[in-house]
Amino acid sequence: MRPSSYQPQEFQAPWSVGNRISTALLTVILLTVPCVVALAPQPRARGWAWFGVGVLWLILGGVALFCVRGYALRHGELWIRRSFWWTRIPLSDLQDARVDPHALRGSVRIWGAAGFMAALGWYYNKRLGRFRAWVTDPARCVVLEFPGRTLVISPDRPEAFVRALGFEPQPPRMSL
């Protein structure tokens, strides 16, 4: 099946239990820290503490802007829904698509975020090499291989996503 003949389809980006717990904990911390700072006994210390709180909120707010909200296949492209925009990836040179619930196992984050809303950014592991991830549930990973690059995403229906790309889902490969 050629990318231009894909039927438009949408897929959700469900959050794993671990993702929900870590996001909830970070949110509680972010709501608690300003209260602790406001009650600090030394007024001079409050200025630097508020600066730190502000930096934390900016960083985590930035991560929230880039969170993954869903995926779509449209016009021969993968569309990744973000908070306020879509990231589009042409699929014309897609070589392989497979379900791999162990894709993130043993990965090292090169640049990006993990544990707050999603695993986003550039990662490396021995099996996949260097790859880009937009993952909200590691158990639902789909690996997309292109010449010279690999992407990992986590649609709600991984097998259906792989089929929609014209590939037949295979049993997951054993991880090393």
Percentage of the chain exceeding pLDDT 70: 89
Q: Is the whole model's pTM more than 0.85, yes or no?
A: no
Within-domain flag for 147: yes
Between 32-46, 64-78, 93-107, 151-165, the lowest mean confidence (pLDDT) is in 32-46
Residue 8's pLDDT is 73
Residue 174 lies in a domain: no
How many distinct structural domains can be found in the chain? 1
pLDDT tens per residue across span 43-98: 666 677 778 778 878 877 877 788 898 999 998 999 999 888 999 999 999 999 99
Q: Does the structure show a pLDDT above 90 at 108?
A: yes
The answer to the question of residue 176 being in a domain is no
| Structural domain of 5 | 1-167
In a domain, 37, yes or no: yes
Report residue 126's pLDDT band, with 50, 70 and 90 as the boundaries. very high
Q: What is the DSSP string of the chain?
A: --GGGPPPEEEE-PPPHHHHHHHHHHHHHHHHHHHHHHT-S-HHHHHHHHHHHHHHHHHHHHHHHT---EEEEETTEEEEE-SS-EEEEE-TT--EEEE-TTTTTT-EEEEEEEEESEEEEEEEETTTEEEEEEES-GGG-EEEEETTEEEEE--SSHHHHHHHTT----PPPPP-
